[in-house]
Amino acid sequence: MRDVRAALRQQRIETPSWAYANSGTRFKVFAQAGVPRNPEEKIADAGVVHRLTGVAPTVALHIPWDKVDDYAALAKYAADQGVGIGAINANVFQDDDYKLGSVTNPDPAVRRKATDHLLECVDIMDATGSRDLKLWFSDGTNYPGQDSIRARQDRLAEALREVYDRLGDDQRMLLEYKLFEPAFYTTDVPDWGTSYAHCIELGPKATVCIDTGHHAPGTNIEFIVAFLLRAGKLGAFDFNSRFYADDDLMVGAADPFQLFRIMHEIVSADALGEDAGIAFMLDQCHNIEPKIPAIIRSVMNVQEATAKALLVDADALAAAQRAGDVLGANAALMDAYNTDVRPLLRELREEMGLDPDPMAAYARSGYAEKIVAERVGGEQAGWGA
Amino acid sequence: MRDVRAALRQQRIETPSWAYANSGTRFKVFAQAGVPRNPEEKIADAGVVHRLTGVAPTVALHIPWDKVDDYAALAKYAADQGVGIGAINANVFQDDDYKLGSVTNPDPAVRRKATDHLLECVDIMDATGSRDLKLWFSDGTNYPGQDSIRARQDRLAEALREVYDRLGDDQRMLLEYKLFEPAFYTTDVPDWGTSYAHCIELGPKATVCIDTGHHAPGTNIEFIVAFLLRAGKLGAFDFNSRFYADDDLMVGAADPFQLFRIMHEIVSADALGEDAGIAFMLDQCHNIEPKIPAIIRSVMNVQEATAKALLVDADALAAAQRAGDVLGANAALMDAYNTDVRPLLRELREEMGLDPDPMAAYARSGYAEKIVAERVGGEQAGWGA
Amino acid sequence: MRDVRAALRQQRIETPSWAYANSGTRFKVFAQAGVPRNPEEKIADAGVVHRLTGVAPTVALHIPWDKVDDYAALAKYAADQGVGIGAINANVFQDDDYKLGSVTNPDPAVRRKATDHLLECVDIMDATGSRDLKLWFSDGTNYPGQDSIRARQDRLAEALREVYDRLGDDQRMLLEYKLFEPAFYTTDVPDWGTSYAHCIELGPKATVCIDTGHHAPGTNIEFIVAFLLRAGKLGAFDFNSRFYADDDLMVGAADPFQLFRIMHEIVSADALGEDAGIAFMLDQCHNIEPKIPAIIRSVMNVQEATAKALLVDADALAAAQRAGDVLGANAALMDAYNTDVRPLLRELREEMGLDPDPMAAYARSGYAEKIVAERVGGEQAGWGA
Amino acid sequence: MRDVRAALRQQRIETPSWAYANSGTRFKVFAQAGVPRNPEEKIADAGVVHRLTGVAPTVALHIPWDKVDDYAALAKYAADQGVGIGAINANVFQDDDYKLGSVTNPDPAVRRKATDHLLECVDIMDATGSRDLKLWFSDGTNYPGQDSIRARQDRLAEALREVYDRLGDDQRMLLEYKLFEPAFYTTDVPDWGTSYAHCIELGPKATVCIDTGHHAPGTNIEFIVAFLLRAGKLGAFDFNSRFYADDDLMVGAADPFQLFRIMHEIVSADALGEDAGIAFMLDQCHNIEPKIPAIIRSVMNVQEATAKALLVDADALAAAQRAGDVLGANAALMDAYNTDVRPLLRELREEMGLDPDPMAAYARSGYAEKIVAERVGGEQAGWGA
């Protein structure tokens, strides 16, 4: 039990600045009172989440949504809130120029502009001290024939190479993939294989980012996790959950067993700790539920799945596997999954000087009421700002 | 060949006012120059499509996107453009009140408001002379437990009943279904079975609307078409196409063979003509392609699929089916599908006094340049207006 | 807690005779030592499962796999083993005549033969005292055009009517649906809507059977459960689980949270007890794992999901739902799901005079060794016999 | 038009010996009269297909289904039938030993046996002069925890390395992938990324085989084709078609537009000819339709898709793509797809001295009647023999 607690105590989950802001679907964004109006307010909210959970010490930024004049000052502000700046997320999908793609656009001028933005993000990383540049490309096509699939790969490779070469010694590139949306016929990085192949070509600083919501129906995500861990190419997770497509629900909400299986692969490969170099990040939307509580709940969901994974009796599991005991091996895994780990986590939080129930502590804190009262006027942050 | 041409000449495809406006994904709406700024300009564009294709004589409205003070005047304006007003589409998904649902909302006040909007749409139908009220509900939940699935069905049934009872003698209700989005866990009308069951309960004026993009992967849409035709409960199509989810691409773009199979069921049941009471409507988005040409192309795609379906040798097909000749029956169908019907349709257009190539005719017409020049200032229409 | 235990104590889960026999995929059937060679041996195995779990008092038969000369004698034999005969499952998919369908075959002679088999199954029900006739049709087509979708519905309706009219006063028809396999283009009863529509037409003795493995990806099964419960048309479950298609894995193995959500709908509608008339049956294959332990585990999985569903604080849930408290309502559900109910079930079993750990009790019992030793010679039972 | 005909005349499509034999689903194999009883009769049937189509000059073997004592004699027999021996397909999924896997089995003795079989297949290649060893592994697990995903990859890599090192200078390994079935939880080579990663590690003689039926719903296969062509790692196709899972229907039957898009990528990359090193093979089942006609039809379907792909106006397409003309580029592609290429292919066949209608020619040939009359007694070939 000692090791389980130590592992849980050292767990690190990064929250995304944009999850504190408004978001929605193409049909409607339901604005919420108290939502941040600038990067500082998002960071302040992230600080609250970390103070209550103890395991969310960094916050990811999204450029240009979190664009500021002085990133060093922003990092200082974050430190004052008790959190650090995490990954820098590039955004090359919201300018009118990007209608037919960013780094894969048929127009070289648009590609130049997009690549320059990626390079600018590395500049920001230099200023914030961020290790990771997260790249997600909405690039793709909507209709058969619209563009050459192969030519777009050539353009993608060229842009990635330029950005890769700009990375500092301690900086990394995380290449995310996504099956579809907003592109509806081809996507230029649609699956882990495509991301992996580019990362292999680029070199050791390029690794794959798995967004748990970005797969075709029936895809076995823990297989991908295990495969990339074996290949040394798993760099990060964007956690969220989904019933259908990229629904971006709270991680663990749609299929808690799947999250457990993913964390089981992580624990099996001894890849939970910081030295394994895997960034565990949330990337989700809170369209109808309140933002901060949703993020606290998400952090707790990851903790619970991790605790269960840590409780798997690895020796019993391995013995059953070696013996070809199908039901016995399955039972060894399920035994951990079926355990109620909430008491353990409550105790752990108390050991860490935290409230055992972060949700209740937040509700009691008055923070929700405070931001509703204070954040009046100005423009609420959202996906477009 | 005579009957094929007659059938094609009498075909009626309704275009949707909102397809002429801006649309996009949750990530970005790419605005296009020349897009309409009000219902009249949308109707004018619909008039152009009908003048060029000869088979798109009506345009559907979306309330409140197409809200005007005087609907009779709008109908008159439409007539001047050579088109009629088609179905009235209710919209109960864009007010802040509808965050947790419209007619299925746990709050009775919100349900009242939503139902009142539906009733208002029937008032508008009275004014425009529209036959069809199309109902699509975005209602549903995002998280397990969020609301009672059964209670929401009760509320849905109650609202539908009230609206049904308000319908005039020659008016109908079309109940659309959709697997998911914007609701991500449950949707209150997720499949044809749900829509069908409510329609059966309501009575003969309630029929099912099949949106070709609203199904789970692997769903056999032509089966649903055939089943509803047999049951006398198919009221309408919302045509579009999809590779993944509700991608809303041009009908026939993603899977032209599927569109042919759907039209084959229609033709087999002798349900193409107006007296069969099936409304053939487009419901799609043109996010990156120009609007009017995309709609012309869509109309042509439906025509081509229909022409092929009309060319199926029904006797040969039936004989092979009766004989259990699997390959022979399949070949009878494929023989029609593999025929190039474009020459036939070009001839038909010439017979109808139209340009044989509507796409080229539009390009030559100068209309695109004209609307770009004229539609300056004001606010472009989109999904929110 | 009292009611929870009472409900669990009265739970009834029916096991299928064919799950004790060999099964596999089209690629290979891996035979297992000790597998039954006749209906009696299957029933004996079912008796063992009931003695160890206390909640599996009936066993379903499959005709002709379980064909015997004297069904009354078979029922007597079952009673001696401590179990009753449950549903009778018709089989109209393994004769060469059924290559192009059974009751929907274009050839009337084949339809006659198939319908006669269904009627014969009702005769068997009379002899065994079974209440339920379970109908699953593999009927469908592999290629577009192969047969008329509508004509096949007509033939289906005709056969169902004839069988329905033959049912005794206390007998029922359960109409199962399945998306695909073994038919690969159309299936004649592919979804719950089709089954529901036929049942409505037939009358009150016809109800829908939900096989949890028979849906398109992304289908929300608990929605269907809730809908059919509200409509009074849910007759039975065929429990199993799946990752991909009809994988027929042990119920609860692939998505235990889904099974819980399904049981939550059952409990919410107060439909767990026998008077609700819902048959909870297993229908699964054990291709690589030992049969009897797999069935015991499956029964336990259903028990665990049911126990969790019974622990949901219905008042707290309803209050949060009424208040539109998305996270609170979800938490009320998850709180029950995250509870470890295994201690409760162990206690319950002890109260019932059972071993608290049925898996261990079976392993200790020597039954596995006994049947391996005794069941030598003869032909092992499988899907074909 | 000259080049199109030349390309079509040189097209090479390999047929699989097992497609001439009986096959079915787990529910039932419907045997057909006249089906081959040994490898020679399968090869004789393949010879008929080649004589009628002119583009199917080789037949793939499946070991041990096509095991003979003297492979050189078999190759000689094939030559007498006018065909050559194509790829050798290994089979490590039908021995009882392989219940928990072949080369990934936890038991080293089973792994040894499986690898030895693969090496034996290379011996056979030496005897037959075959270039390609096709490897498909059914290996995987059915339940979470059953075995270590990573350990199985290690075992897979080890076996592949041993076999790779055994290959002769002119021999290749084709590594096929498949989403699921017969394994239902994990599959050891589930997607193109996994196959690609292993092939990269192995070296230039290892390339990916794309079976068009082996993907998750929504997978864009032509993207994979384009990506692998760009990477120089596309070795072969196993053609068939599917509506749902691995339905193994005739290629082009379920989605002819998809087949065209795939062939468009091939043609665009100038990879149709033999020097491109891509093997175009059929791998499909004919469960209810007659075997030889189904294969002839399949060959014709590939020809038609290829002809359409060759008709794409590459300059017009590229110009529209460069100009960002979404509808224009799509139209350039669709223009070719909508062309009826059957007259062209009929002419081509006449130029080649063939009957313009191979289906009719086969029907007239009397071969079907001949084999039904002659192939009496003995055991029909199927998936198990």
Q: How far is CA A15 from the centre of its chain?
A: 7
* Other residues' Cβ atoms within 10 Å of the Cβ of residue C366: 10
* Other residues' Cβ atoms within 10 Å of the Cβ of residue C25: 19
Instruction: Please name the member of B23, B217, B247 whose beta carbon is closest to the beta carbon of A184.
Output: B247
Q: Give the pLDDT confidence of B102-155 residue by residue, as tens digits.
A: 999 999 999 999 999 999 999 999 999 999 999 999 999 999 999 999 999 999
Residue B233: predicted pLDDT: 98
DSSP B312-357: S-HHHHHHHHHTT-HHHHHHHHHHHHTS--HHHHHHHHHHTTS-S-
User: Is the Cβ–Cβ distance between C240 and C212 less than 8 Å?
Assistant: yes
- C348 to chain B nearest CA, in Å? 27
Instruction: Please name the member of A220, A256, A340 whose beta carbon is closest to the beta carbon of C339.
Output: A340
Q: Which residue, among A136, A288, A291, would best test binding to B if mutated, counting the most B CBs under 10 Å from its CB? A: A288
| For residues C200-207, average pLDDT | 98
Residue C383: predicted pLDDT: 85
Alpha-carbon distance values, C24 to A340, C89, C90 (Å): 35, 19, 20
* Other residues' Cβ atoms within 10 Å of the Cβ of residue A73: 12
Residues of C in contact with A220 (CB under 8 A): 243
- B314 to chain A nearest CA, in Å? 32
Residue C2: predicted pLDDT: 53
Angle at B355 between CA B2 and CA B347, to 5 degrees: 25
- B130 to chain C nearest CA, in Å? 30
Residues of D in contact with C288 (CB under 8 A): 99-100, 142
Residues of A in contact with D183 (CB under 8 A): none
Instruction: Please name the member of C179, C244, C253 whose beta carbon is closest to the beta carbon of D180.
Output: C244
Contact A217 D222 (CB under 8 A): no
Contact D321 A230 (CB under 8 A): no
Contact A338 C304 (CB under 8 A): yes
Q: Give the pLDDT confidence of B65-87 residue by residue, as tens digits.
A: 999 999 999 999 999 999 999 99
Cα–Cα dist D190/D167, whole Å: 24
Angle at D27 between CA D24 and CA D30, to 5 degrees: 40
* Beta-carbon contacts below 8 Å between A and D: 159
Contact B245 A144 (CB under 8 A): no
Closest residue on chain A to D219 (Cα): A216
Cα–Cα dist D260/D254, whole Å: 12
Instruction: Please name the member of B256, B297, B331 whose beta carbon is closest to the beta carbon of D257.
Output: B256
Q: Which residue, among D223, D230, D268, would best test binding to A if mutated, counting the most A CBs under 10 Å from its CB? A: D223
CA distance between the termini of chain B: 45
Angle at D237 between CA D234 and CA D238, to 5 degrees: 150
- A204 to chain D nearest CA, in Å? 16
* Burial class of residue B82 in the structure, from the number of CB atoms within 10 Å of its CB (0-12 exposed, 13-18 middle, 19+ buried): middle
Q: Which two tokens stand for residue A56?
A: 């969310």
Quote the mean pLDDT of chain A: 97
Residue D172: predicted pLDDT: 98
- A40 to chain B nearest CA, in Å? 23
Q: Which residue, among B189, B220, B262, would best test binding to C if mutated, counting the most C CBs under 10 Å from its CB? A: B220
Q: Chains near B, with 3+ CB pairs < 8 A?
A: A, C, D
Contact D149 A227 (CB under 8 A): yes
| For residues A290-312, average pLDDT | 98
- B338 to chain D nearest CA, in Å? 6
Quote the mean pLDDT of chain B: 97
Q: Which amino acid is at D169?
A: D
- B217 to chain C nearest CA, in Å? 6
Superfamily of domain D11-374 in the CATH hierarchy: Divalent-metal-dependent TIM barrel enzymes (3.20.20.150)
* Beta-carbon contacts below 8 Å between A and C: 48
Quote the mean pLDDT of chain C: 97
Cα–Cα dist A135/A132, whole Å: 9
- Hey, which residues does B173 pair with through a beta bridge? B133, B206
- A200 to chain D nearest CA, in Å? 10
* Other residues' Cβ atoms within 10 Å of the Cβ of residue D347: 13
pLDDT of A256 higher than 60: yes
Quote the mean pLDDT of chain D: 97
- C305 to chain A nearest CA, in Å? 11
Cα–Cα dist B286/D283, whole Å: 39
Residue B125: predicted pLDDT: 98
The residue whose two tokens read 């045509």 is B239
Q: Give the pLDDT confidence of B50-63 residue by residue, as tens digits.
A: 999 999 999 999 99
Q: Which residue, among B288, B301, B380, B383, would best test binding to A if mutated, counting the most A CBs under 10 Å from its CB? A: B288
Instruction: Please name the member of A244, A256, A290 whose beta carbon is closest to the beta carbon of C218.
Output: A244
pLDDT of D2 higher than 60: no
Cα–Cα dist A149/B367, whole Å: 33
Q: Which two tokens stand for residue B209?
A: 């609307």
H/E segment holding residue D31: none
- A133 to chain C nearest CA, in Å? 32
In chain B, domain spans: 11-374
Reported confidence tier of residue C384, pLDDT bands at 50, 70, 90? low
Q: Where are the alpha helices (H) located in A203-290, listed in sequence order?
A: 221-231, 256-268
* Burial class of residue C330 in the structure, from the number of CB atoms within 10 Å of its CB (0-12 exposed, 13-18 middle, 19+ buried): buried
Residues of D in contact with A194 (CB under 8 A): 193, 227
- Hey, which residues does A135 pair with through a beta bridge? A175
Q: Which residues of D170-201 are buried (b: 16+ CB within 10 A; e: fewer)?
A: ebbbbbbbbbbbbbbbbbbbbbbbbbbbbbbe
Reported confidence tier of residue B383, pLDDT bands at 50, 70, 90? confident
Provide the edge-to-edge strand list for the sheet that holds B172-176: B15-16, B58-63, B84-90, B132-135, B172-176, B206-211, B234-239, B279-282
DSSP B163-198: HHHH--TT-EEEEE--SSSS-SSEESS-SHHHHHHH
Q: Is the dihedral of CA C118, C124, C126, C128 positive or negative?
A: negative
Contact D193 A191 (CB under 8 A): yes
pLDDT of C346 higher than 70: yes
Contact C149 B222 (CB under 8 A): yes
DSSP B78-135: HHHTT-EEEEEEE--SSSGGGGG-STT-SSHHHHHHHHHHHHHHHHHHHHHT--EEEE
- C362 to chain B nearest CA, in Å? 36
Q: Give the pLDDT confidence of C85-122 residue by residue, as tens digits.
A: 999 999 999 999 999 999 999 999 999 999 999 999 99
Q: What percent of chain A has pLDDT over 90?
A: 98
Q: Give chain A's radius of gyration (CA, Å).
A: 21
Contact D256 B255 (CB under 8 A): no
Q: How far is CA D304 from the centre of its chain?
A: 17
Q: Which residue, among A107, A142, A181, would best test binding to B if mutated, counting the most B CBs under 10 Å from its CB? A: A142
Q: Which residue, among A250, A286, A334, A362, would best test binding to C if mutated, counting the most C CBs under 10 Å from its CB? A: A334
pLDDT of D62 higher than 80: yes
Closest residue on chain D to A266 (Cα): D150
Q: Is the dihedral of CA C64, C66, C70, C75 positive or negative?
A: negative
Cα–Cα dist C215/B191, whole Å: 12
Q: Give the pLDDT confidence of C149-176 residue by residue, as tens digits.
A: 999 999 999 999 999 999 999 999 999 9
Cα–Cα dist B197/B215, whole Å: 17
H/E segment holding residue C308: helix C291-311
Q: Which amino acid is at C6?
A: A
Residues of A in contact with C30 (CB under 8 A): none
Residues of A in contact with B24 (CB under 8 A): 26, 182
Q: What percent of chain A has pLDDT over 70?
A: 99
Chain B positions contacting chain A at CB under 8 Å are 23-28, 30-31, 93-94, 96, 98-100, 138, 142-144, 179-182, 184-185, 217, 242-245, 247, 249-250, 253-254, 287-289, 383
Q: How far is CA C218 from the centre of its chain?
A: 21
User: Is the Cβ–Cβ distance between A128 and A85 less than 8 Å?
Assistant: yes
Q: Which residue, among A143, A185, A285, would best test binding to B if mutated, counting the most B CBs under 10 Å from its CB? A: A143
Q: Give the pLDDT confidence of B162-207 residue by residue, as tens digits.
A: 999 999 999 999 999 999 999 999 999 999 999 999 999 999 999 9
Contact B243 A184 (CB under 8 A): yes
- Kindly report the pTM of this predicted structure: 0.98
* Burial class of residue A357 in the structure, from the number of CB atoms within 10 Å of its CB (0-12 exposed, 13-18 middle, 19+ buried): middle
Q: What is the ipTM of this complex?
A: 0.97
Cα–Cα dist D228/D192, whole Å: 9
Cα–Cα dist D204/D221, whole Å: 23
| For residues C57-63, average pLDDT | 98
| For residues C114-132, average pLDDT | 98
Phi, psi (rounded to 5 degrees) for D251: -55, 135
Q: Where are the alpha helices (H) located in chain A, listed in sequence order?
A: 2-9, 39-53, 71-80, 108-128, 149-166, 192-202, 221-231, 256-268, 291-311, 314-322, 326-337, 342-351, 358-365, 367-374
Instruction: Please name the member of D27, D31, D289 whose beta carbon is closest to the beta carbon of C182.
Output: D27
Q: How far is CA A71 from the centre of its chain?
A: 21
Contact B96 A244 (CB under 8 A): no
Instruction: Please name the member of A27, A98, A99 whose beta carbon is closest to the beta carbon of B138.
Output: A27
CA distance between the termini of chain C: 45
Picking from A29, A287, C324, A34, the residue whose alpha carbon sits closest to that of residue B110 is C324
Contact A331 C218 (CB under 8 A): no
Residues of C in contact with D96 (CB under 8 A): 30-31
Report strand pairing: B172-176 vs B206-211. Answer: parallel
Q: Which two tokens stand for residue B107?
A: 């709050």
Q: Give the pLDDT confidence of A39-89 residue by residue, as tens digits.
A: 999 999 999 999 999 999 999 999 999 999 999 999 999 999 999 999 999
pLDDT of C1 higher than 80: no
Q: Which two tokens stand for residue C114?
A: 């198939």
Q: Is the dihedral of CA D158, D160, D166, D170 positive or negative?
A: negative
Q: What percent of chain D has pLDDT over 90?
A: 98
